[in-house]
Amino acid sequence: MWPWVRGFNEYDGLTMVIAATATHPELFTTFFQPYVCPNSSSIVVGRSEAERGIRDGKKVSNTLVGYLLSNTRKRSTEQHSRRIPTEQHS
């Protein structure tokens, strides 16, 4: 994926943390206190300025940095292991 990433929009990082935790309710609710629509049961984080739905912004930020660093290190290791040794000529 990283070769195609050209930049980030303002909410890309938040979306990444939401996506990474959404399938684990206990972890999701550690970071977020979402609004649940009574009609559709849709879960909304960031419903309005007054209802942000984020429990601890610092924790979300640190988690995002951890995800990015983890993936960057993994990608770097994968690229390094794929390099084909070149012959040195004297």
pLDDT tens digits, one per residue of 20-49: 888 888 888 888 999 999 999 999 998 888
Sorted by where each begins, the domain ranges of the chain are 8-72
| % of the chain exceeding 70 in pLDDT | 68
Q: How far apart are CA 20 and CA 76, in angstroms?
A: 21
pLDDT tens digits, one per residue of 51-68: 899 998 888 888 878 877
Proportion of the chain in helix, strand, coil states, percent, rounded to 5:
50, 5, 40
Contact 35, 44 (CB under 8 A): yes
Contact 80, 89 (CB under 8 A): no
Size of the chain in residues:
90
Q: 67: how many CB neighbours lie within 10 A of its CB?
A: 14
49 SS3 class = coil
